[in-house]
Structure 1
């Protein structure tokens, strides 16, 4: 139940963040979430107590920059398309890692299923529901950042997990905070905005971090990967409940295909899929 609660928390944080877009824009919300998340995670991890090789700092920096890019792009995406669809597209990032590192025909077939699901979401002429192509492009960019995040994260893995996440989130602020300040300025410090930003940071980072760490103590990476593969469905339900986002039957089918592809890869016990959601925030 901990891992399901973590997924609900992550997507509830994203939905609340979307509610702040009219006040400070996606850039402002991304800045608040990463900035406040970094402070929370630093307090939890206390990275100054962990020694690390100087060479690791470069990889941690890249790890954090990819996380910052992913955070910003996914917010730009959900400003234009439903959260469930954005998360479904984003999950293609770790699936692409599987394809790049696998020689198995089975993994290629799973990736093909995800591609078919993605094609169903494209704004084809005559489609019953036409999604914003720019929103789809942003979600695809978030998927690319997630792919880089996983690949670079392997290099940063020598540092203790929670410390790497805290340092990475701090580096992510180099991407999000300058844009947030340039877009929203002093609006970020309005009491209501700041309070909701703190809530978004807690729901999107601190609470899921604790819940997932507890889940990983009891679950295998395979089971962890299968459960977290349901993220697009949970995001779609949260989007409907909190934001009134309704999806068409075709869109639900597309999401189901992407979830099936992710579950299939997770059952093959691929660490990149199983662990990818451990530290990632929507």
Structure 2
């Protein structure tokens, strides 16, 4: 049965303050039907066991929607979101993975971009959940299709040209080795290495621990300050293709810093031969 149509917030109004729920608190709210819990792991992992009530989300399908030809296609976004059952009765959505927020944060960003009203992350991954002997289910969650009408938050995106401007406050959320050019792409070893001129490096995995739990807000602020970021100015974040930069964007929101996403990332930047790349540890040389 098709649930009632849900319309997102206005496209120029990003959600304020994405929630981060502890696993202890989530366990106490598993029977709350107004919470939609999404599992962003591989489907085979979901089928072996997941947090009770969690709905599997196709992370790769949402990633594909961020391509230039589809990122503004409201019909495609509506089709991708329908199986998640985001009906009018759902007051908040939480996402988890088992990859230090690599996939969960990308799903979070995708839903926020699409205009889902209230979206957050589970603090910590599935391994942490099982280590603490919390309940696990192999029963697939049963949800009704919900016709969600997206209102895409286009102003949260940054273009190639904007990233390349000297005055931009740009964050490269990849590893230090990728940023400096020391590490080649595993999928395309002949591709240019390095970073976008002017970008500063802060590895997004330094913002979470090995269990996928975020640092406290004071520690997050300190990490950004140590990396040389001006946090009273909007930050443009990128990574290789949008996942790790989504972690950084969530962390920035935690400390009240506005941001935009160059979601195509370094992979998109080097597709144009005219685009300059910089190697080494400094932003511009």
- Please indicate the TM-score interval, normalised by the length of the shorter structure: under 0.3
Name the structure where strand makes up a greater proportion of residues.
Answer: 2
Please report the TM-score for the alignment, with normalisation by the length of structure 1: 0.21
Which structure: greater helix fraction? 1
TM-score normalised by the chain length of structure 2 = 0.21
Name the structure, 1 or 2, with higher relative contact order (CA <8 Å, separation 6+): 1
